[in-house]
Amino acid sequence: MFTDELKQQAGPIIESIYHDDFIQGIIRGDIDKEAIRHYLKADHLYLNEFAKIYSLLIAKLDDRDGINFLLGQIDFVLNGEIEAHQTMAAYVGEDYEKIIRDGEWYPSSDHYIKHMYYNALRYDDASFTICAMAPCPYVYQQLALKITERHDLTGNPLKPWVDFYTVNMDELMVHLDGWVNSFAEQATESELDILRRNFLESCVHERRFFNMAVRQEVWEFHVKDSIINSRN
């Protein structure tokens, strides 16, 4: 299957994310609270956009079951995934609403969000959008499975965050894979190249998103903020 090929190519990127500071800090249970705060500010806004991009994707589909399923996913992204964010807010020890109040599309999340919009707006077929979106559930699912396989997180305050992504992504991946594989059967070689690139670029965006939080990335016109942050 075409999506098996994509996932195989994404393997080394996901393994690198696993070894980067963010996930290693989650595994140790002592990740810098400022990294989590930055992540939550960015991810809250990212998920809002992800929900809106689902609505653009729905407009490209004819299959009623698929449309229904994605309506449920919009609800999940807006209301279900808060549970994972609440776990992180509890770890920080601060009210979630207060943490996310002054979030922004920081440069790396901005780039990722715009990659998804570009594909939704540039191409009629749903598969281009799906390949840019699919690493969102896929990378988290794979990271959660790797963490759970390799470590016993009993007593780790962030264990519920990991557990959340081991169980909630399967059904979505089945739908996304199905759409992409049926399009891939009749796609041209150059279309397949774009799909591959979209998927792999989003895997790299996932890596950059975690590193963005670790490094407290800001737009450089907030010069004062970035000096303060780099001294912390």
Ligand X SMILES: Cc1ncc(CO)c(N)n1
Q: Which residues are catalytic?
A: 136, 206
Work out whether the CA dihedral 146, 2, 57, 207 comes out positive or negative.
Answer: positive
Q: Please, what is the minimum distance in Å from the beta carbon of residue 179 to ligand X?
A: 18
Q: Please, what is the minimum distance in Å from the beta carbon of residue 112 to ligand X?
A: 7
Cβ atoms < 10 Å from Cβ of 188: 8
CB 45 within 8 A of CB 109: yes
Paired tokens of 200: 């792999």
Closest CB to ligand X among 140 and 184?
Answer: 140
CB 100 within 8 A of CB 40: yes
CB 171 within 8 A of CB 65: no
Among 123, 140, 161, 199, binds ligand X (CB under 6 A): 140
User: Which residues inside 192-221 make contact with ligand X, applying CB under 6 A?
Assistant: 206, 209
Q: Please, what is the minimum distance in Å from the beta carbon of residue 42 to ligand X?
A: 8
* Amino acid (one-letter) located at 130: I
Closest CB to ligand X among 139 and 180?
Answer: 139
CA 204, CA 201: separation in Å to the nearest integer?
Answer: 5
Closest CB to ligand X among 2 and 112?
Answer: 112
Q: Which is nearest to 110 in space by CA: 2, 230, 217, 225? A: 217
72 to 91: interface string for ligand X, x by CB under 6 A: ---------x----------
99 to 138: interface string for ligand X, x by CB under 6 A: -------------------------------------xx-
Paired tokens of 84: 């994972």
Closest CB to ligand X among 110 and 194?
Answer: 110
Q: Site residues (CB under 6 A) for ligand X?
A: 43, 46-47, 81, 136-137, 140, 206, 209
